[in-house]
Chain A
Amino acid sequence: MRWTLAAIILIGFIAPAVRAQQRAECLSCHSETTLADQDGHSVYVDGAKQKASVHGSLNCTDCHASIKGYPHPEHPAAVNCGTCHSDEAKDLVESVHAKASAEPCLGCHRDPHAIIPVKDMQSPVFTLNIPQTCGSCHGNPELAKKFGLANVYALYMDSIHGFALTKDGLLVAASCSSCHGSHKILSHTNPESRTYRTNIPATCGSCHAGPEAQYFAGIHGQQLKAGNPQAPVCADCHTAHGIARVQGVSWQMQTSATCGNCHKENYATYLDTFHAQISALGYAETARCWNCHRFHDILPPSDPKSTVAPGNLVATCGQCHADATVSFVSYHPHADPHDRKSFPALYFAALFMDLLLLSIFSFFGLHTILWFVRSFFDRPKGGLRAEGG
């Protein structure tokens, strides 16, 4: 017992001393700023920075484990961060970055001798710095081209998330890793990925809990749950990276066309209405899809809870048309004049108008052409107007 205590005290005092001695030995060469290996790569180590880093208490050979003494081989074995960071290393091996470079850790964590805590604002993986760190590859058009990546960096930086994070400095704003994860970044085609289609609502919902609940209460979320592959998820309407502020007029102007990507017929009939016409002229305060159908908790008209269920139309239309009545809401905002079964009166009115235009222009078109030809050969000599009116 006494010996054990003495040994602990001895190791406690001696170990740092031994470590300091080893560091000093390594740095006696590696503190030389011009030191380079045979290939000309710098092997200089900033001792002070290393001392201040999260790994400052480690010995050089803790990481450079293949080096047993001096002289060491010209090319010592690569450092394996996974020796200590085994979970992260395992995640990284499964990720899209596993083969991205020879040293995938350093791509994001940068200088291996100057790694500082994630919470430190200087860290390249501090929340506010993540977009720039990821963007150093993903914002590079050449790399994007080489690996077939969408140039998502620019889209993100102009998005509401990008503005909130990089301009307003909000730590709660979504950075790259909020959606993609950090070490286990998987392709969106991998069903385990946080950005796989069916996982997107949960991923967005990790911050936007309210909209997530509304989405799953609505028909889109229900269809997704039921396994309908066509059911839209958050990114289908909001896009993935260039997410705009929904209160912005420029975004609101595009929303109807977005719904129209799937709801083609309803979009086509909407375009025939006054609502759509004034929207196309840049007028924001008009009915767009979501003004009547709502957005996350959209329900089909057959559902009595739906805003467009027959019983709720007076209230829904009444949002804008204050004096809407039951009769007023029998106006059909998606009437199709070509649909004889559903809209017979409109169908025949359209048919009548078409025939009217066709007959009048056929008759007078011919009349005019014949008149032109005849009067050209029979025009009054010298003109009529010459003298008068």
Chain B
Amino acid sequence: MNQNNTNDRYYTRFSLGQRYLHGVLMATFIGLALTGMTLRFSHTVWAAAFARAVGGFSAILFCHKFCAALLTLAFLIHVGDITYRGLVKGQRGVFWGPNSMVPRLKDLKDLYGHMRWFLWLGPRPKFDRFAYWEKFDYWGVFWGMAIIGISGYAMWFAPFFARFFPGSWLNIALLIHGEEALLAAWFIFAIHFFNTHLRPGSFPMDLVIFTGRETEKELKERHPAEYERLLEGGQLQAAQTSAPPQWLKIFGRLAGIVVISSGFVLLILTLAAFFGGK
């Protein structure tokens, strides 16, 4: 927040569309987790109190379905965008290469190198644009949305679903919907929050998903392979962008604080309910 560094060079990390996508994902995920966990742990005092505060189970289910529909829309737009760019426009970079989310051999090597670095056994790997844990986050959410989404819609339209599949599958749908949601919520609220925001070096919050921009220093430190690649390819100039406006940083900080803190509260409550039974 030092205002004397406005001459710093900034580089684009996320497009406006990607930031909106994450925004919708973040908002609906919190909404889904809050209402879903209330149902999952309905026997707890906090769940009953929350349900009473928001107007009962009907309000909770409405909110859950509303967020689900919104997230489904965002998911479909994202899949449509990737399909269009990758298949129709033939941008091979979408499916392969340093800018793609598809895992490469380098990710495995980076994981191994990172673990060695954890144990003071080697240098820190030079990560490219998307590090292996960021790809894992992406695919975790992708797989999670598919599993939770399909099982959720099966239950939402249970009699319709039962026209094509045995009703006993609904038992499995409820089970994996709940377990996968628990996995997703705990992963996001513990692992993702730590990896991207809370670990030393990022603490208390990394605003790049809100501003879409990172400084040259951040780019060099976090994505050295990308920096070198851009520098050698002469693309660094093209990736440069303006400094993020102050209001965007304030907005990002506020939204981040709200989401991270509510995620943490929910993490503690659900962990206590899961292991404590109350």
Q: Which of A280, A368, A372 contacts B43 (CB 8 A)?
A: A280
B117 touches A374 (CB 8 A): yes
Which residues of A sit under 8 angstroms from B52, Cβ to Cβ?
A: 282
A-contacting 9-mer, from B70-78, B92-100, B177-185, B259-267: B177-185
Q: Say whether, besides A281-B47, A389-B213, A353 and B159 are in contact (CB < 8 Å).
A: no
A330 touches B168 (CB 8 A): yes
B89 interface residue, CB < 8 Å from A? no
Which residues of B sit under 8 angstroms from A361, Cβ to Cβ?
A: 186-187
**How many chain B residues have a CB neighbour from A under 8 Å?**
71
Inter-chain CA distance A354–B206, complex, in Å, is 32
Which residues of A sit under 8 angstroms from B234, Cβ to Cβ?
A: none
Q: Which of A346, A360, A365, A386 contacts B171 (CB 8 A)?
A: A346
Within 8 A of B (CB), among A269-296: 271, 273-274, 276-283
Which residues of A sit under 8 angstroms from B172, Cβ to Cβ?
A: 345-346, 349
B1 touches A386 (CB 8 A): yes
A327 touches B244 (CB 8 A): no
Which residues of A sit under 8 angstroms from B1, Cβ to Cβ?
A: 386
B159 touches A323 (CB 8 A): yes
B191 interface residue, CB < 8 Å from A? yes
- Report the nearest A residue to B61, measured CB to CB: A278
A356 interface residue, CB < 8 Å from B? yes
B171 touches A332 (CB 8 A): yes
A281 touches B163 (CB 8 A): no
A387 touches B5 (CB 8 A): yes
A70 interface residue, CB < 8 Å from B? no
B200 touches A376 (CB 8 A): yes
Inter-chain CA distance A292–B76, complex, in Å, is 39
Q: What distance in Å separates the Cβ of B243 from its nearest Cβ neighbour in chain A?
A: 8
| Chain A residues within CB distance 8 Å of chain B | 271, 273-274, 276-283, 321, 323-325, 327-332, 335, 337, 343, 345-346, 349-350, 353-354, 356-357, 360-361, 364-365, 367-368, 370-376, 378-380, 383-389
Q: 20 more A-B contacts (CB under 8 A) besides A282-B56, A327-B162, A360-B187?
A: A278-B61, A281-B42, A281-B60, A325-B162, A328-B167, A329-B167, A331-B171, A343-B171, A345-B168, A356-B179, A357-B182, A360-B183, A368-B194, A374-B117, A374-B118, A374-B120, A387-B2, A388-B217, A389-B10, A389-B213
Q: List 11 contacting pairs A-B, 8 Å CB cutoff, sorted by A.
A: A280-B47, A282-B52, A323-B160, A325-B163, A335-B168, A335-B171, A367-B133, A372-B200, A375-B201, A384-B222, A387-B215
